[in-house]
Structure 1
Amino acid sequence: MPERPIYLDYQASTPMDARALAVMASYLTESFGNPHAEENLHGQSAAHVLARARGQAARLIGADSSDIIFTSGATEANNLVISGLSEGLRARGKNHLVTVATEHKAVLQVFEALGRQGHELTILPTGGDGLLDPAALAAAIGPRTGLVSVMFANNEIGVLQPIDELGRICRDREVLFHSDAAQAVGKVPVDVGRLNVDFLSLSGHKIYGPPGIGALFIRRACRRYLKPLFIGGGQEWGIRPGTVPMALCAGLGEACEIAGLEMATERQRLLQLRDFFLSELSQAGVVYSVNGDLNRRLPGNLNVSIDGVDAEALLMCVRPRLSISSGSACTSGALSPSHVLQALGLDEIRAESSIRIGFGRHTTREEVETAAAVLIAAIKRLMSVRYTPRLAVEEHSS
């Protein structure tokens, strides 16, 4: 069998932590009760497991366990908030919604759908560093504004928005505030109380938990505003009906517990790996530029434009050895440049020369050293190719 490539795409997904898998496994084969069937011992046991997992997720973000509901992931949580609030906001004359141009498609496309249904939309630009100016948000909020949604950490360029300041603006203006924190939770400190968020989404497969499970924080006073996206069963306080997958929740809870304990040391290690990787590129003479603010950033994220190299060609060159990407996994295969990089003001050439590299919990220094060497060799190989411009060919033939 060929050697497996070095995985450097941790913003796309993370491998499940073996400790979380071990906790989850027993609830698939032994303690398999339905947590909603509390009239028997299997159901009661399952309900205790669910309560523990809810508490673990809540502690990681500084919430109360009663303010956490489980979802299938951050995409569903985002949809539940934005679509679930839309009807009630419109009825109250609050049909103006605000978001940011660099948001994940799971937010932007929901906003666009609501715009087609008659809601007024404001999609704010960012600076060239990828950060939203709080003054721009304050200026955008008006008397009809009902909801603001701003991503905590960007999935492509890793920048960390000033969520605390943005939340304070929304709280002062009595506007509901949602943040898609799928990339941030478990990697940087998140405290929903200090951040003044009303709704916050997270996802299991971004924090070394199982895929297919996520959670949504709902500030208790805001619960009454949400309309469920589907009906049946009344689980999760009637907001997200359907049998809650206990084993997945247990795996998510354990992943949250581990992240809370190891986040600080992991952050320092990832920063060292990131800086080492950049130094290897610089020493090899690779001309690159980092997209997005380098300081307000996820510790394991890099998004760089390589001068004179097409990203897709580079990915093909390194594919047998490295797993990296040119942007968001949700837009893989798109022909147009990343909407995030375009929002930063990058021209098409620079956007199409950009790659995303994500370091994670299992990344070693040896892997980073090997990855840098493979990437540098591929860049030099591509740079050595000289293409004759089409116009010059035509002139010569004539």
Structure 2
Amino acid sequence: MNHIATPTSASAPLDQIDFSDPCLLRDDTWHDYFARLRDESPVHYQAESPFGPFWSITRFEDIVAVDSNFKDFSSEPTILIGDISDDLPAEMFIAMDPPKHDVQRKAVQSVVAPKNLAEMEVLIRTRVCDILDGLPVGETFDWVSDVSINLTTQMLATLFDFPFEERHKLTYWSDIAAGTAEMTGGDVDPEERLQGLMDCLETFTRLWHERKANPGDSFDLISLLQRDPNTADMVDRPMEYLGNLMLLIVGGNDTTRNSATGGVLALNLFPEQYDKLRADQSLIPSMVSEIIRWQTPLAHMRRRATRDLEFGGQQIKKDDKVVMWYMSGNRDERAIANPDEFIIDRENPRHHISFGFGVHRCMGNRLAEMQLRILWEEIMRRFKFVEVMGDPVRVNSNFVKGYESLPVRVHPL
């Protein structure tokens, strides 16, 4: 798949820059390129890319305007910059518009209701403690695999009531779900993705029938879908079932996992903030919101114009792709003071768009915040310093803004 050779200098003419190039995220060189878009061309048309032509929306307020207007900017057929392949036409509620979106989302929304979150908190804390107590103090290890992936995979297994000893499959399915070159510029082989996701569908279809044969009062996601009359027969619509499974798996994995790593990196890059945290651990909830903003674990969401319209002084045509770059909006100095700084005691730390906006605002945002809060509460009870020992390796994707690995060493109190 050929990308326009992105110039090494962000000062090149804008029409020579491929803003969909995953290398911008992988090499962490995206900042200057998108700052130019915000300043010079905040509603920017890119005529050529490996994913076809698209509009880039890069300012905070413009992104909010697009994200909260589903009538003009539809989520169908996909929220990725690339198109989904015809060999596996999975459907998911994040790529649907109301009213169908609302019906399907409502069926699983209760898994993250406040009552359930309160009950989950004890379990999450127990698992966080087990993970942190098992870390090799004084040795260098990979934070991504040993902590971030470990924690979020255990949480996913709980949400689905998935066989705990097979939970590694959930991580694998999450990694391949949107990892092909055609979808996000990634390097997952399309055939491997097809086989992996068919295995996912087969596994969850079996779990559906097992749960149906022995119904209980469980609040796992499969049982919730079965109990809601609007989704009770979803297993008979396999592409819809698979699509919503992938949405819940990726939503429950990539975002929290990459924020759990991004927080460690941020505190090492801004050591005065780590000192601030050591001095006042009541800042943890505020810091969690700042981690999610600073990291922005999903870089973009795409919409489709439903009609010809004027936006930001530009003429957008019906069916044009419109890409909201959340990572850029979260670094927009028009909306956020000193946006490139990591500041754990910001006045309004929840003023960010990492969770999206409008009807598609992230369903699990409170669960993600709770996991990160508990993680940092328990880190601070054990370790004076989680020290980064080398450069992070970042994910090759224009969608997932995350980490393959981060070498660290923990220093006890």
Please report the TM-score for the alignment, with normalisation by the length of structure 2. Answer: 0.26
Question: TM-score if structure 1 supplies the norm length?
Answer: 0.27
Give the number of the structure whose alpha-carbon radius of gyration is greater: 1
Higher helix share: 2
